Amino acid sequence: MTRILMVCLGNICRSPLAHGIMESKLSENHFYVDSAGTAAYHVGNAPDKRSIAVAKKHGLDISTQNARQFKVSDFDTFDYIYAMDQSNYKNIVSLARHPNDIEKVKLFLEANTAIQNKNMPDPYYGDESDFEYVYKLANKTCAIIAEGLKH
Ligand code: 4NP
């Protein structure tokens, strides 16, 4: 079983989308996917309505996810930890206990060579089109990562 964790700040906008999309591209027999936020503001909450809506538009149901905060034991549980932006990356790495922990943490968009800006934009203060952009970028990037994991 390969375990993948998607991480953003609140775990209500970006990482729930990356979580749902990645899960849809991998066999549940071989992969476990989860998401978390570096902050605790929204712990226990469902994803943002706009993330749920854009996922639904593309045939994915992410409405049953619940936000949780990233915890140090996630370094033990997961094989790959994908940070949505540089700030999330720094916050995760600041909790690392040893170099093996840090090695597991990647900037999600590093996998997508077509994209120059490696920070997934935070759509929280944006509108529907910002959520659509996050969906598209996450979908393409998850496809690249999933393809790499299958080999
Ligand atoms: P996320 O977006 O990190 O993609 O879930 C945000 C959600 C909530 C807040 C910021 C970003 N907030 O400040 O409450």
13 closest CA partner among 79, 77, 88, 72: 88
Q: Which residues line ligand 1 (CB under 6 A)?
A: 8-14, 37, 41, 122, 124
pLDDT at residue number 15: 99
pLDDT in tens, 101-114: 999 999 999 999 99
**Active-site annotation holds for 68:** no
- From the list 34, 48, 74, 122, the catalytic residue is 122
Residue range of the domain that includes 13: 2-150
Name the residue with the closest Cα to ligand 1, atom 6: 10
18 closest CA partner among 36, 38, 42: 36
Question: Average pLDDT of the chain?
Answer: 98
Ligand 1 atom closest to the Cα of residue 15 is 4
pLDDT in tens, 48-61: 999 999 999 999 99
Phi, psi torsion values for 65, nearest 5 degrees: -70, 150
Above pLDDT 70, what percent of the chain? 99
- Count how many domains the chain has: 1
- From the list 8, 13, 34, 74, the catalytic residue is 8
Distance between CA atoms of 4 and 113, rounded to whole angstroms?
A: 20
pLDDT in tens, 13-60: 999 999 999 999 999 999 999 999 999 999 999 999 999 999 999 999
pLDDT in tens, 72-95: 999 999 999 999 999 999 999 999
With beta carbons less than 8 A apart as the criterion, state whether 47 and 131 touch: no
Within 10 angstroms of residue 101's Cβ, the number of other Cβ atoms is 17
Distance between CA atoms of 72 and 61, rounded to whole angstroms?
A: 28
Q: Report how far ligand 1's centroid is from the alpha carbon of 16 (Å).
A: 11
pLDDT at residue number 139: 98
Provide the CATH number for the domain around residue 99.
3.40.50.2300
pLDDT at residue number 120: 98
Q: Report how far ligand 1's centroid is from the alpha carbon of 17 (Å).
A: 13
With beta carbons less than 8 A apart as the criterion, state whether 62 and 55 touch: yes
